[in-house]
Amino acid sequence: MFYYLYVGSDNTIPTSFEGTAADPKLFMTKEEQILSTDFSRLKNLLFFLSIPVDWMIYLFVLIFGISVYFNRLSKEVTRFFFLQSALYVFLLSLVSSVISFPLSYISRKVSLEYGITSQSFTGWMRDYTISFWVSFIMTALTVWVIYIFMRRNEKRWWFHVWLISIPFTVFLMFIQPVVIDPLYNDFYSLKDKELETKILELADRADIPAEHVYEVNMSEKTNALNAYVTGIGSNLRIVLWDTTLNKLEDEETLFVMAHEIGHYVKHHLYLNVIGSIVLTFFGLYFGSKLFHFMLNRYGERLSIRRHNELASLPVLLLIFSLLSFAASPITNAVSRYHEHEADVYAIEMTQDKEAAIHAFQKLTATGLSEVNPPLLVKWLRYGHPTMLERLVFLETYE
């Protein structure tokens, strides 16, 4: 990947698009273009390093008997299986966090040096700690459920876990905007009431049951721009980062919000839930087959005597991580299609090409994004169309 990113790939735009709205020379300085290339390469390299690091952590705790030790220790501390699984997951999460921390810190340092991140180390550590505990709680509950069913039915456990995951997925989408998101940032009603009225008019035209537009103080953490519509039912929220409000004109902000509204109108939120449920079904099915195959072949060598003991968890996590990575080109392609649909909806709703183009150009320059990333990076990382694709579409839209 290092060779591919720095030598074997080309991120310049095709000569046929020079002088068009997608040409970074028209909306980025020479320095910004250089910084964009360097920053993107570094962030992509860190991404492709972080994935095998996770795999190596799982292999490390398996090969050196750490997983077996954690399992034995949890049984010695308590006889209640729920507490055993919680203690095991805590210890495994702690080891994983300690090993992966340097890479996370380097990623933050890179973003800080390139002017993308503005968050203090104290604030970053606070978010890092919150993420650890949120992840621990959700993982501990998930592991407990998986191994409860695994103990009851060693062959069909995956199907029962999948059934339980359906209401949990929906519930998570329902509570995220009002329970999880506020743990990281402060949300408040949009201060610019005139702009809020315009956004709510767009929402009303789209039959979105929204009474408020929320502003979030992301300028304490980043200089990048963003906006989104999240949640379902009564917990649906329209959210704008304050950085977006500070750097975009009202017409440009309205296009961005029309894009987010497009996700709601096109039912992308619900399609994502359905897609997640379907992927979970196949992931659990194939994961269970690989899980039993690997333990039948290597279990004795790893001192894992039974499939349904907690010591086997790193094997399961390794398999799910591998399957998730293998499926990422497909899930990213679906996401890019949804994002393009939202772009189409937004330009049809606003009918303001100039504002739309300027919005994406500012998003690119502010975030030091690549206009035309390498193909492998697009397949494995991009859930949005490239800026080249988006800007060319908008410029040629009639």
Residue 222 DSSP class: B
The torsion region of residue 233 among left (phi > 0), alpha (psi -120 to 50) and beta comes to: left
**Where do runs of H (alpha helix) occur along the chain?**
2-3, 30-63, 66-77, 81-113, 121-152, 157-175, 193-205, 242-247, 250-265, 268-298, 313-350, 353-367, 375-381, 387-396
Measured CA to CA, the distance from residue 10 to residue 256 in angstroms comes to 29
Any catalytic annotation for residue 343?
Answer: yes
339 assigned binding-site residue: yes
Catalytic residue among 260, 309, 370, 389: 260
Measured CA to CA, the distance from residue 292 to residue 287 in angstroms comes to 9
Find out whether 341 and 266 touch, Cβ atoms under 8 Å: yes
370 assigned binding-site residue: no
Is 210 in a helix, a strand, or coil? coil
Catalytic residue among 196, 343, 370, 389: 343
Torsion angle (degrees, nearest 10) of CA 299, 303, 305, 306: -60
- From residue 235, alpha-carbon distances to 78, 110, 378 in Å are 39, 35, 32
Residues shown for the chain:
398
Find out whether 304 and 312 touch, Cβ atoms under 8 Å: yes
212 assigned binding-site residue: no
Q: Which residues are annotated as a binding site?
A: 259, 263, 339
Q: Which residues are annotated as a binding site for Zn(2+)?
A: 259, 263, 339
Give the residue numbers marked as catalytic: 260, 343
